[in-house]
Structure 1
Amino acid sequence: MWLLSRAALVDTELGGHPLPAGAGPLFSPYALHRDPDVFAGPERFDPDRWIEDRIERRHREAFIPFGAGARRCVGDAFALAEAQMALAVICRRWRVRARPGGAPAPLPRMAMRPQGARLVLDRRTDRAPAEEAGVLPGE
């Protein structure tokens, strides 16, 4: 989800604005994940930002692709494991690169997704001979 809602249980203040009990503020994980006060260089591809010692410098709920708290997606751990497995299988056989000439733009639907993202897959030729024959180490 790219836009979430919550309910204020008591009168409070949020970002300097009064929020009465019963109010239903909306917030965007999409915007949070691109906030430079939370993530340095938020638009930059930086897999190292997830190294343990770098994660601890942020609030534990700074990255919430599956929501948080009582409304957190029950399938979040499965989704992350499935995505890692799929990526490992794809990248073992293919080199993935962006097609030149355009950057993806966000397309807000039920879930935010990229629009205009085009990838090129090149079959890897640097694999070991056993892999080429379909025999994997340990099999």
Structure 2
Amino acid sequence: MTSTTNVSAGLTAEHREQLMRVAREVSFDAGTRLFEEGRRADRFWIVRTGTVVLDMRVPGRRAAVVETLGHGELVGWSWHFAPYVWHLGAEAMSPVRAYEFDAEAVRALCARDPEFGCAVASWVGRVVADRLHASRARLLDLYAPYGGGSPV
């Protein structure tokens, strides 16, 4: 878990409080699908306990796990960017307790308070950048010749 994906590292105390005012506590049993790739992204979560995997569909095969998320991490960023469609799927790998947020309500808060909106956009952007960087590193580990050195 990188610190910038953790909500406490991504928002000031004031902005965290603002966000938490619209949170609701939810629980998921192991094996519960939180969302499916290609469907409408209308909410997001911050994990309190448990583990959630992000996955992507692979034609003719089981979904490929892209990342594993745990305590304090943001699950879902597609809600923040039009057209608000999930780019991946997500499943609870263990019992999960989380804070759930209605995306439309959070976007409305962002529109009403530009400072809050900027903070949320920066936080979500860092999460996306961290996950892109982690994915790139995994791809290099898998496919780069001899551990990713320069081509011969």
TM-score for the superposition, normalised by structure 1:
0.29
Max radius of gyration: which structure?
A: 1
The structure carrying a bigger helix percent of its residues is 2
Higher relative contact order structure (alpha carbons within 8 Å, sequence separation ≥ 6): 2
TM-score for the superposition, normalised by structure 2:
0.27
The structure carrying a bigger strand percent of its residues is 2
